[in-house]
Chains A and B, each alone.
Chain A
C-alpha cells in the first residue's frame, strides 16, 4: 500500500511539475519559454551581439539580432519543444542551425546545441523591447541581390 501511495504521490508531484503556471516557473520549458529574452554574450573580437527573441504561446517566435552592426536583422518562425529539446523553423522555410537542449531556471534560459555541446547560448528574461522594431536594417534594395545575405 505504501509503495502505491508513494508512487501516487510521486505521480501527482510530477503532474504538478509539468502543468502550466505562467512566467517564473522554473521547470516547465513549454510554459516558461513564453516571453521576451535577451542574449547574454561577450567575445573579445565582437563589440556587441544584441540578440532579442520573443517566444509566443501560439508556438511562433520573433528574433531580432545585430552582431557588431548598427542594424537589426529580423526573423520570424515557429518553434517546438519536445522532451526538453527546442527546435524550430524560420518563416522563409529554413530550419534552425541546430536544435537545443533547453533548460529554464527562473529567468535564465540556457540553450545547448544538441550537435555541439560547446555551443551554449544563455538568455535572460527581459521586458518587451520596442526599440528593435524601429531599427530594422534598410540597406538600399537597388544594390542587393535577392539571394540570401549570408549563405
Chain B
C-alpha cells in the first residue's frame, strides 16, 4: 500500500472538486480557493504550486540546501514525501540576465512537482493546498498540436505544370508554383474552383520586402529540422552555445547547449524529431529559404541574400500526442529571454473553455505568455521595431463554433483557415475567440476533382517536411497560423527598414486592419466530412462574421506600416466615406465600439453633429471648416463582443487616422 494513503485520508475534506474542464479558482479564503484544478485532460503525476511571496525566500533556501528536492517547509515536504516526489524544482529556470524581471513577473514563485502516479490527483492537489505557504495549486493539463491526420496521397501527386500556374516568378524556387497560398492565379491545377487572389498577396509584398535576419520567430511545436536544406540557412543559432563548450550553459541563460532552441519535453538541448514533421512544415511557411533554387518559399524567407527571418525551435511536442502546459509555459519564458519577437503557436488546450477568466486565473502558462508579450522583441535585444512579443495562435480544427484557448483570449491573435477559393476550410474552428483568417488548405477540394478516386493535396499547403521526402502538403489552422506569423514578420521587416517602432497593441491593430473581406464568400455549400469520414454538405452561411476580421493581406500590412492613409473630406457637404483602406476590407462587418474626434478638433473643423460609422462601414461626417483632425475608432476584431472574464470574444482594437477637410472633388481629387 502506498505510504501517502494514510496522510491523505486525514486531510480529505468533504467538499468536492469541480470535475469539469474549467480550471477555476473559487472565491473565498479557503483551501478550495487555492485550487486551479481540472480533472479533464490531466497530466498524471505532475502538479504546479505557486508559493506566497512571503514564503519564497525560505523555499529557495530550502531547495538550495536540499539540492533541489525539498522546500524546507515541513508541512509541504511531508506532502512531497507522501506522494512519492520525484522532482521539485522551480518551473521557470533562472536566466541570470533577466532574473530581476522574472521575479517582478512572479515567475519565481512557481514550482513544478513530479511524483509517483496513482493517487487521486484532486486529493494530491488538496494536500498541497492545505499548506499555508502555498497560494495556488494548479493541475498540469494537456495541450494538443493542431496537426491533422496525414492524408495518403495518390502515387505521383498531381504535378502542376510550371507554365500553367506561375503568376510571377519572383523567386527561383521551383516549387513556388505549388504554393497558391502565397500567389494564387486561380489555376484549375490547384482545384477546379480555385480563385485568383485567394492568398496572402505576396506577389505585391515581396518586391517591397521578403524578410530581415534581425527578426526571430519562435516556432513552438515539434522540433524544427534545423538541417533541412530549405531551412538551415534561416535557422536561429545561439552563437555562444554553438561556439561554446558542450555541457556548459555558455550564455548563462539557464539552458545548456541550446544551439537552435530547446526540447522542453525532455528538458534537453536534443531536438527530437519523433516522426512528426508538423513543426518543420509550420517553420517552412514562416521562413523556408527563398530564391535558393530548391524547394518552395517561405513568407518571410528572404530574397536569397541571407535576409530571411530566423527560426527558433521551441520543442513542446514530441509527435502527435499531447503535451503539458508546463512545457509551453517554460517555452514562453525562453523565447522572450532569447530575443524572439514573434511566437508561432499551432496548438491549444485540449479542454473547452468559455471565458478568459477560466483560462487566465492563476495560470502559470498565461503568466508566461504575459511575460513574453511584455518582454519579447526590443525589450530583450530582439527586433527593435516591436516593444514586446507578438504571440499568434491557431483556432483549432474540430469544426467548433468557438476557438480554443490560449488563442481565444482577447489579447492574443487567433487564426482561422481559408481555402484556395476564399471559403472557410471545412475543418476550421470559427466564432468567438477567432480574430483573422489565412490560407490553411482544404484537401477535399482537390480530392473532389478526381471524383473521390485519388486523394490529392494540391489544394492544401505546401512546405518543408522530412517524414516522406523534403517537401509535402498539410492542411489545418496549424498551416494558416504561420501565414499570419510570417506576414507579421514581413511587416516588422519593413518597420525596421523605416525605423518605425510599435507597441504590441499598435502592431496588432495594424495586422487586424490589413485584411480583405471574407464574409462575402461565406455563402453556398461545400464538401465536408463527418468524424466517421462520411462526406456531407457544409452550409457556409454559418461562418459569416465568424472567421475574424477578414483574411490577411501582406501588401496591406506593408502599406499600413508605411502609414495610415489620410482620408480626404469635402468641406461643407455631408460625407459618407468608405473606410476599407483604413479599417480593412471587412469593414462592413465590423462591430464598431466608438468613433471619436476631440472637442478641439470638432470645433476647429466646425463638425456638424456626430461623427459616426454606418452599418456598412462608411464614415459619416460634415465639416464646415477646412483643416485636419484625428479620428479614433475602436472596434471588435472577431465577432460582436470583446472577450471578457465571463465570455470568450474578440480583441478590442484601436485605430487612429487623419482626415483632411478642404475643397476636394467628389472623387477625392485634390483640385
Binding site for B on A (CB under 8 A): 39, 43-49, 51, 53, 61, 63, 65, 67-71, 73, 75, 88, 90, 92, 94-98, 100, 113, 115-116, 118-119, 121, 138-140, 142-144, 147-151
Contacts and interface: CB of A to CB of B under 8 A. Distances in A.
Contacts of B664: 97, 150
Interface in B549-575: 553, 556, 558-559, 562-568, 570-572, 575
Contacts of A45: 566, 628-630, 658, 660
A-B pairs with lowest CB-CB distance, top 9: A70-B562, A69-B565, A68-B566, A67-B566, A98-B663, A150-B668, A97-B663, A143-B585, A143-B516
Contacts of B663: 97-98, 113, 115-116, 119
B668 A149 contact: yes
Contact of A92 (B568, B570, B667): B667
Interface string B643-665: 00000000000000010101111
Contacts of A94: 665-667, 669
B628 A46 contact: yes
A100 B669 CA distance: 14
Contact of A143 (B570, B580, B665): B580
Given A67-B566, A96-B665, A149-B581, 14 more contacts: A61-B671, A68-B564, A94-B669, A95-B665, A96-B669, A116-B663, A118-B626, A119-B662, A121-B670, A142-B516, A144-B580, A149-B578, A150-B577, A150-B668
B372 to A, nearest CB: 31
Given A118-B626, A143-B516, A90 B564 contact: no
Given A44-B628, A46-B660, A142-B197, A68 B670 contact: no
Nearest to B571: A116
B179 interface: no
A147 B625 CA distance: 26
A151 B626 contact: no
A65 B670 contact: yes
Interface residues of B, number: 45
**Among the interface residues B201, B517, B670, which one has the most CB atoms of the partner chain A within 10 A?**
B670
Nearest to B659: A45
Given A69-B565, A140-B516, A149-B578, A46 B658 contact: yes
18 contacts: A45-B566, A45-B628, A45-B660, A47-B563, A61-B671, A63-B671, A67-B660, A69-B564, A90-B665, A90-B667, A95-B665, A96-B671, A121-B670, A138-B204, A142-B197, A149-B667, A151-B570, A151-B577
B188 to A, nearest CB: 18
B503 interface: no
Nearest to A144: B580
Contacts of B566: 45-46, 49, 67-69
B568 A67 contact: yes
A103 to B, nearest CB: 16
A-side interface mostly: loop
A63 B564 CA distance: 21
B603 to A, nearest CB: 15
B204 A71 contact: no
A97 B517 contact: no
Contacts of B564: 68-69
A70 B628 CA distance: 19
Nearest to B576: A151
B669 A97 contact: yes
Which of A45, A49, A63 has its CB near the most chain B CB atoms (within 10 A)? A45
A68 B658 contact: yes
Nearest to B586: A143
B363 to A, nearest CB: 38
A144 B520 CA distance: 12
Given A115-B663, A151-B570, A65 B669 contact: yes
A39 B669 CA distance: 13
A68 B565 contact: yes
Nearest to B582: A69
Contacts of B577: 150-151
- Most chain B C-beta atoms within 10 Å of own C-beta, residue among A51, A73, A92, A139: A139
Given A70-B559, A139-B581, A143-B517, A75 B667 contact: yes
Nearest to B550: A143
B204 A73 contact: no
Nearest to A68: B566
B625 to A, nearest CB: 8
B563 A70 contact: yes
Given A45-B628, A45-B630, A140-B516, A151 B667 contact: yes
A97 B667 CA distance: 9
A102 to B, nearest CB: 11
A79 B638 CA distance: 47
Contacts of A97: 570, 662-666, 669, 671
A151 B666 contact: yes
A121 B664 CA distance: 12
A40 to B, nearest CB: 13
Interface in B109-154: none
B575 A151 contact: yes
A63 B625 CA distance: 25
B92 to A, nearest CB: 42
B437 to A, nearest CB: 13
Contacts of B516: 140, 142-143
A151 B622 CA distance: 12
A141 B658 CA distance: 24
A22 B628 CA distance: 37
Nearest to A138: B204
Contacts of A44: 628
A87 to B, nearest CB: 9
A3 to B, nearest CB: 44
Interface string B573-597: 0011110110001000000000000
